[in-house]
Amino acid sequence: MWRRLLYLYLFLLGCIMIDAESLPQIPGVHIQATVGPISEEEYRFVQGKQINRADLQKLHVRLQLSESKSMTERRLTLPDLSAPLKNLSESRVLHQYMAERNLPGMEEEATAEQFVIFDARGLDDESIRELYSDSVGYLMYRDRDGKQSSDSFVISSIMQRVKATMAK
């Protein structure tokens, strides 16, 4: 009697596990945009520009799509963070970095990251936020069943001030 119940339990557990694997995973989306002072190491990198460290700021945007290995397609797009600053003055942008990691079906997560170090003289938080009011990032993914999901976000609406830069 106990054996039959044990076999029935194992059979039901196996069916549930097989069914759970066939369900599409819902990925986690994490978006972060911070603006704040640059680190000592970053200042050494741009130090030849003859600008005080206190006049420099760093805008850092990171978009992460986790729990998405089962997706057949993932697209993460960040706007060019230097473009609004270059519209003010070509010399405002001192350094820019962009990176993306996105291997659908092979990696559990996809990331797009970008930062820009810029001369912030004459710019307060509100004017920096205004500069990025038209800067939009996009996210799109398609699951195994062909269902497509997409979303967009405005950089200025998620931008947060940090007192010190976060270590990478």
123-165 pLDDT per residue, tens = 999 999 999 999 999 999 888 888 898 999 999 999 999 987 5
Q: How far apart, in whole angstroms, are the C-alpha atoms of residue 109 and residue 106? A: 9
For 55-81, give one letter per residue: b (16+ CB within 10 A) or e. ebbbbbbbbbbeebbbbeebbbebbeb
User: Does residue 41 carry a pLDDT above 60?
Assistant: yes
> pLDDT band at residue 13, thresholds of 50, 70 and 90?
low
Nearest to 84 by CA among 49, 134, 122: 134
User: Does residue 77 carry a pLDDT above 90?
Assistant: yes
Full-model pTM: 0.80
> pLDDT band at residue 90, thresholds of 50, 70 and 90?
confident
Residue % of the chain over a pLDDT of 90: 54
pLDDT at site 19: 47
DSSP conformational letter for 45: H
